[in-house]
Structure 1
Amino acid sequence: MSAERKPARERVVLAERRGARVVRTRVEVEEQTEVGAVLIGGLIRAQFGLAVRLGLVTVVVLGALPLVFLGPLGAATVFGIRLPWLLLGLLAYPLLYGVGRMYTRLAERNEQDFDELTGD
């Protein structure tokens, strides 16, 4: 064995690198560079996709009601009120409210993800 020992390997970690990248990402968005435009475009696409999906769900659910009313349910009465009017008057608005709340919650989540990406 030799008297000289090799120095132990040392692992170098660039911890500060991540912070610099986040600051640079924020600058890219603020200065409206190509990278910033891509990031903002991604947020816009995510918000638009969310709006389209929830809009389609709403249209399908409310659009299916006339098909339900064609059968025997269309002539049924509850508390002296025809069932179609009762469903349209009592169930349509809570459905629209729920879809609106869901959209707001999911859109805010998209924005939080964008903020985390840009470091805000």
Structure 2
Amino acid sequence: MAEHQPPPRRETVTGVPRGTRRRPPHTPARSEISEQTTLGATYVRALMRSQLRAGLGALAALVLLVATLPLVFLLPRVGSGPLVWVVLGLLVYPVMWLIARWYVTRAERNEADFTGLVTDPAEAPGPRRPR
């Protein structure tokens, strides 16, 4: 006599699908900053210091440009005539544009480095621009 056994009970297993990865909601650096800990303040201070360094570098280049103009105009051939207007009207602005472009590029690189520090690599938006 074969005993009639009920079929085994089916169980449904739920969980994270295969291939997906659990990520913490915040990376340690991001939580350090949001919780305003000493380490978070150090991260922010480092960003501010690098941005200040970039700003002071751009300011120094601009001051150097503006400070050398009177010295150039002291030269006998340059001190009078249309060459003064060419230097002031045409040549100064591309140099100022290059200084500004350098500053913006440097500031964006500082921000990208900081963002790379505080974000999870899996959340990265894409490849970073080469330096």
TM-score category of the 2 structures, normalised to the smaller one:
0.7 to 0.9
- Under a length normalisation based on structure 1, what TM-score does the superposition of the two structures give? 0.72
Alignment of 1:1-120 (within 5 A): 23-72=27-76, 73-75=78-80, 77=81, 82-119=82-119
Bigger Rg over Cα: 2
Question: What is the percent sequence identity of the aligned residues?
Answer: 40
The count of aligned residue pairs is 96
Unpaired segments ≥5 residues, structure 2? 1-22, 121-131
TM-score by length of 2: 0.67
Segments of 5+ residues of structure 1 without an aligned counterpart are 1-18
1:91 partner SS: helix
Q: 2:58 & 2:100 partners in 1: Cα distance?
A: 9
How big is the alpha-carbon RMSD for the aligned residues of Structure 1 and Structure 2? 1.8
1:43 counterpart letter in structure 2: L
| CA–CA distance in structure 2, aligned partners of residues 33 and 106 of structure 1 | 27
Kindly indicate which of the two structures has a greater share of residues assigned to helix: 1
Instruction: Flag as ranges the 4+ runs of structure 1 deviating above 2 A.
Output: none
Q: Counterparts of 1:52 and 1:43 in 2: how far apart (Å)?
A: 14
Answer 1 or 2: higher relative contact order, Cα 8 Å, separation at least 6: 1
How far the C-alpha of 1:99 sits from its partner, in A, is: 1.1
